[in-house]
Every structure is written in C-alpha cells, then in structure tokens.
A and B are shown apart, each in its own frame.
Chain A
Amino acid sequence: MRSFIKKDLLIFWRDRKELATVLILPILLVLVLNFAFAGLFSNNEQSSLDLQLAVVNQDDVAEAMARLNEKLVNEASLGDQEAKALVEQANDIHPVQLLFDFLESEDLNDWVTVHKLEESVAVDKVKEGDLDAILIIPDGFTAESLYAAFVGESPATTLEYKLEKETSNSSALYSIIHGFIDHLNYQFAIQEIAGASEPAVKLPEGGFEKIGAGETFTMTQYFTVAMGALFALFLVATVATKTGVEIREQVFNRILLTNSHPMHFLIGKMVSTICLVLLQIIFVMIVSHFILDVFPDRSITFWIGLIAMVILLSLVLSGLAAVFTAISLRVNDIDAANGIFMLVILLFGIIGGNFVPIYILPNWLQQIGEWTPNGLFLVMLTDWIQFEELSSIVKPSILLTGIFLLFTMIGLALFPQRGKAK
C-alpha cells in the first residue's frame, strides 16, 4: 500500500508547475482580496473613500432677504411689519452657508472634496470622470426655501443633484447630502412645532456591547480561511483527474497486472489527498500569516486547534476524492466526468461562501452552505478564531467526521469490483 501512496504523491511531484499554482495562487488571491476590500469593509481611519463633489452655487445670498421680503408681502399678503419680523428671523439662517459648512466640516473633510465651479465646467469634468457628481444650488434657493418654511408650502426650487453614472461614490455623496437635507428639514419641523421654547433634549447614549472573547473576526482572516478551503476543494478535483491520466498512460492497466488489492488504489488516492490538502492549507495560512499578520498573538492552543480542524477537513476532502475517483473509474467519458466534478466543486465553493461574497446569497442558501464541508469548516474556524472554545466546535467536528464517513462509504460502494473498471 505504501507504494500506492508514494505513486500518488510522485504524480504531483512530477508536476511541480501545477503544485506551485495550487500553493501560490490562493496566497495571491488573499493578497488581492485584501487590497480590493481594504477600507471598504473595515472601519479604519484611513478610509479609501475619495469623493469629489462639484458645487454650483447660482444663488445670490445677499439678495435673498430682499427677495424673501418681497415674496412674503406680495404672495403671502403679509403686512410689512410681519414680513419684516420674519425676515429678521431668517437673517440668522443661511441654509446655503450651513450646507457649505457641513460639506467642508472636519468630519467630512477626509473623504469629500468640494469644488466650487460653474455649471458647464462641472458637467464637463463629471463627464470626463474627474468628479463624481454635481450639486446645483439654483437661483433663489434660499429665498424660496425659507418662504416655503414660513408659509408651509412646497418650495418652488429644489437642489439638483446631477450625476453621470450611478457609482458607489455618487451614491455615497447622495446619501451624505440627502442625510443633511433631511436633518435640516427635521430641525425646521421641530422648531416650527416647539416654537420659541427650546426643550431640553436628553440624547441617547448609544454605543456598543461587545460580546464574545473580544477577538474580532477580520476580513483578512475570512479571506485566508475561505481561500485555503476553496483551493483544497480544487485539489480534490485535481486528484480525481489524475485517475484519467493513469488510465490514459496505461498506469492503471499495469497496476491491474500486479494483482494488487483494488482498495489499495483508492486508499492511495485518499492518503495523498490528505497529505496535499494539509500541505496546501497550512502553507496558505502560514505564508499569509507572515505576510499579513492574519492571526496576531494567538496562543499555542489556538494553533493546535487550527491544525486539528485542517486535519478534519483534509479527511472529509479525501472522502470526496474517493467518490470522484470511483466515479472516474466507472464512466465511459472521463472528460464529461471531469467537467461534472468541476461543477460540483464550483457549487460547493459558491454556496459554502468561498467564491463570492456571502451577502449575495439568500438566507436559506447560506444555511445550506453551512452543510457543505468547506462551509462547515468556515463556520467552525470562525467560531474558533473568535472564542477558542472547545465546546463550540464539538458539534461541527462530529458533523464533519460524519460527512467524511458518508463520503468514504459512497466512494467504497461506487468503487468498481476487480475487473469491472472501464
């Protein structure tokens, strides 16, 4: 039997290009994903958001009060005195100035850059892609809006938010501005209703209650674990395709002539899968740990647990390799079989959450995903990384062992009898 294991490992050793791909690509992926999502999903100070907003101010603030007065007298038919009082009151409110103060405030300064431009210039720049969006403050905005606020009618003018294409940047800018306008309106509403008296507001404290052992599960950890598991899955498909090579290169026929027990062939495949998966995942984890410091300051227990789980995963995947190998020996068209293996691996990868961001998946599919070996492995490692509690990983471990036994049984059952292989 030892010679079979040696043979299977040698097949991989002979093909070092492929081995290198399987080892290096996941690390490359972890790095790329980290770059791609850095700042997007973390609440770091160094946010990568860089929003460029053009503001076109067509409103003449100096004239606004005169216009407001005129409008109050002519259209709302208020007396001179009354109108004067309101204008006096309005003098303290400069919505346009408030808007500028807000956009240029320190909170926003880090990611919003405001350019004050003419409309035609701004449109050109947005079309060229230099700017994300334009905010136009139309002529008479202050007067009309304040008039609307005093009289309680809909305003005749609105701010115009112009964009060329809807991107994450232009949506972010929209929600920032919209949030401000919303807030402004709300404050006007409160003032209108509360009148002159300013009630003391007891603001909520808010805040967080962190639960768990305090260890957070970072995106980098997620990518490392997910990519490790995904490429372990690919490795299974690769092991299975090697059966095709052996049949083609007559290795299989030569094995038949040696009169070895058929099971030895299968066991060789399984053991080599275990070795390769172990090598691959541990390599990915250790190298990404040294490059990105994925698991900082963890105890030795943590690492032992991690390795135990990887061993469990490698067992399960060896079971899957057994099933694939058995199928390869049974079908006529080994190419079609390879295609289907790839499809199965893709399916596992997708619903296990290794391929695409898991948030895309509907909830029920996420739950099914937790039943795939890679999904289960992901869930188990997430638990372990956060809490390091033995009790929380017992159940998934038993499940994984169960899946391993199930796969192995299926593999054994499908494995052709002596002389039945096609």
Chain B
Amino acid sequence: MNSVLWVQFCKDKRNPLVILLFIAGSILATFLFAGGVYSPTTVAIFSEEENASEIETKWESLLNVDDSIQFEIVEPEEARTNVKDGNIDVAVMLMETDYRLVVTSELPSVSYVQQHVEKVFQREAQISAIVETQGEEDVRSEIENYLADAPFQLETQGTGSEQVPKYNLSTQLLFAFTFLISMFILGLKVNNVTNDKVSGIWDRMILSPMTKTNMYCGYVLDSFLITLFQIVVVLLMFKYVMNYEVGDNLWLVIMIAAFFTFSMISVAMLITGFIRTPEQFYAIYPSVIPLIPLISGAYMMPGTITNPILLFIADLFPMAHAMEAIMSVIFYNAGLQDVMMSLLFMLLIGVVAMGIGINLIERRSK
C-alpha cells in the first residue's frame, strides 16, 4: 500500500503543476464568485420629458434607498440599447409622477425592481397629495420622524433562542466551489487506476506480492490525501487570510469534508468501473460533475429546489449531505451528534459506490 501511495506522490512531486493550478483555481473561483453575490443590481433610469434632468435627479435620490438595487442615470438611447442587448435586465423611464419599466423579457430581477419602484412612486404620490391639500412642505421629514418610532414592529428570532439564525450565501458558495474543484482533483487521481492499467503497471503490481486490497487502498488513500490537502488549504486560506466566516468548529468542518471526499472518491471509482480507458473518464467525468452541485442546490439558498424527484436524486450524491451538515455546523452551531446522520449517509454512499465500482473494475479485467 505504501509503495503505491509513494509512487503516486512521486508522480505529483515530479509534476506538481496540475494540482497547484487546481488549488489556485479553487481559491480564485471562490474568491470571485462568493464576492460577487453582494454586488447590487444596477438599474438604469432615464427620462424623456422636457425637464429630463430635473426629473432624473429627483427620482434618483428617492429610488436609491437601500443597497440592494442601485439606480443610475443614463441617456435614454443608451438605456434602451443596453436593455435590448441584454446587458441589463431592466431600465426605468421616469415621468413627473409616473414610470414605465423598459424590459425585453421576464427575467427574475424585473419583478423585484418593479415592486421597489412601485412602492416609491405610490408613496411619493401620497406625499405630494398631502402637500397639495395642506400646503405643508415638511411632509417627508415628518413621515420619516413618525416611521422612526413606528407603532407596529416586527422582530426576527430563532425558534429556540433569541439569537437569529444567520445565513450567508457567500459562505455556502465558498464550500460549493471548493467541493466542485475537489471533485475534479479526486477524479484526476482516481483516474490513475485506469491510467496504470492501460500502461501495464497494474499487471506488474498484480504479479508482485502486493494484495489487491493494498493496491486499491493505495490509490484511494492517495486521492483522499491530496483532495483533503486542497480543501484544508483553501479553508485555512479563507479563514485566516481572507477572514471569511467558516465557523468556529473548523475540525468538525474538516471532518465532514473528509467524509465527503471519501464518498466522492467512491463515486469516481464507480464511474471508473464503467469505462475502459482514462480518456473515456475525461469525457464522462467532467460532464457529470457539474450536475451534482446544481441539483444539490449548492449554488442557491437552501429550500430553493422543491421538486421531490430532484431532491431524491440529490440525496444519492454526497454533496447534498455534506453541504447540509456544513451549513448546520457553521450557521446553527450543530455538533457532531447533529450531523451524524449526514456523515452516515455519506459513508453509506461511499461504501456502496466503492463496492460496486471495484467490482465492476475487477470484472472488466477478466
């Protein structure tokens, strides 16, 4: 076993470029994507009335109330072309007391913008009506004063405690991308089995006194260690260098990652069981892998996917369980006891997939 492990390490030592590139890629990808979530949507506003600039400045300050949507004044022509080309989803044409949303298609962001714009315009209509009837000028600040001490209040709490369960999509994406890349790395490593088979090394190992179990253990362990190394490096990097929120219980997170890695190696081994040459693996594996985080809902808020068939398919892969366990550890302070179920599921998937996979590989070689 040690010799198999060692020979694989030596291959990487001689040619560390790919692994290093993948690790760098996973840090870079996470950094870019996880950071991008909070960039606000930009919505172009313009007016074609006579006193366009006046209207634009008036509504710009009124529309820009929070950070979620950013309204920017642009030329009418530019706004229309941008919407038409699909560079932006929606632009708002302003009139003195009315508006039109300029859109091409029913994108999800449109209704969100519509709600906000509608609210602002309705409120302004009410305010100006009051100003007209009463001749008061200070209505706006009066309303603000009143709302600062609003009579009806709403407060969020957790079910068990006062503390609000916080959730952060950035952190989830961090793990989604780290796991996505780690699935590729472990796939490349597991593919060494087929590689060594076609190059004849496998046959020479069979002739040696080494047992089959030792041979497989060597490959699995090698793949496991390299992948875990990648995950740990990325996590430490994000925790200590970039100060991301990855929870206080890092050991438990790493343990879940370890279970995930083992489980995914088994799935990769299962795929290896279906193919003959390493090239086939390169054709099939990368086409299947991107599916897994998608159906596991790793890119979206939990609860976004509700289709029972999809949920069932997602449960067959370790990623859904790993994400669930890690999210509950990070955001809801779950302990080992709470994530035990997910760990066992991953272990079960791992054992079953590994069993079938190795069986298929062995059958093929006869």
A-to-B contact residues, CB < 8 Å: 15, 17-18, 21-22, 25-26, 29, 32-33, 35-36, 38, 40-43, 48, 50, 95, 123, 126-127, 134, 145-146, 148-149, 152-155, 158-171, 174, 177-178, 181, 184-186, 188-190, 192-195, 197, 199-212, 216-218, 230-231, 234, 237-238, 241-242, 244-245, 248, 333, 335-336, 338-340, 342-343, 345-347, 349-350, 355-357, 360-363, 365, 379, 382-383, 386-387
Residues of B with C-beta under 8 A to A152: 146, 149
CB B12 to nearest CB in A, in angstroms, measures 10
B136 partner residues in chain A, CB cutoff 8 A: 193
Q: Tell me the number of A-to-B contacts counted with CB atoms below 8 Å.
A: 293
The 0/1 profile, CB within 8 Å of A marked 1, for residues 98-129 of chain B is 11111111111011001001100111011001
User: Is B358 on the interface with A (CB-CB < 8 A)?
Assistant: no
Chain B's nearest CB lies how many Å from the CB of A37? 9
- Contact B98–A212 (Cβ < 8 Å): no
Q: Give complex CA distance A203, B270 in Å.
A: 63
A365 CB contacts on chain B under 8 angstroms: 32, 36
Which B184-199 residues have a C-beta within 8 angstroms of A? 184, 188, 195, 198-199
Q: Interface code B243-276, partner A: CB below 8 Å = 1, 0 otherwise?
A: 0000000000000000000000000000000110
Q: Tell me, in angstroms, the Cα distance from A316 to B102 when the chains sit together.
A: 35
**Given the known A-B contacts A22-B283, A189-B147, A206-B121, are A155 and B153 also in contact in the complex, defined by CB atoms under 8 Å?**
yes
Known: A21-B287, A166-B165, A168-B302. Contact between A148 and B154, CB under 8 A? Answer: no
The 7 lowest CB-CB distance pairs between A and B, nearest first, are: A167-B303, A166-B167, A149-B151, A158-B153, A216-B105, A339-B18, A199-B129
Query: Looking at chain B's contact residues, is the secondary structure mostly helix, strand, loop, or mixed?
Result: helix
Give chain B residues whose Cβ lies under 8 Å from the Cβ of A190.
Answer: 126, 130, 143
Check if A164 sits within 8 Å of B165, measured CB to CB. yes
Q: Does B238 contact A (CB under 8 A)?
A: no
Given contacts A336-B17, A360-B173, contact A48 B103 (CB under 8 A): no
Give chain A residues whose Cβ lies under 8 Å from the Cβ of B291. 29, 32
Shortest CB–CB separation between residue A417 and chain B, in angstroms? Answer: 25
* Partner among B122, B147, B165, B310 whose Cβ is within 8 Å of the Cβ of A35: B310
B64, CB-defined interface residue at 8 Å: no
CB of A193 within 8 A of CB of B107, answer no
Complex-state Cα separation, A17 to B149, whole angstroms? 68
B209 close to A (CB within 8 Å): no
Using an 8 Å CB-CB cutoff, how does the interface string of B198-209 with A read, 1 for contact, 0 for none? 110000000000
A167-B302, A360-B299 are known contacts; what are 19 more A-B pairs with Cβ within 8 Å?
A18-B283, A21-B283, A35-B310, A95-B152, A158-B153, A160-B154, A160-B156, A168-B304, A202-B97, A207-B101, A209-B102, A241-B282, A244-B279, A335-B278, A338-B278, A339-B22, A342-B282, A342-B286, A343-B25
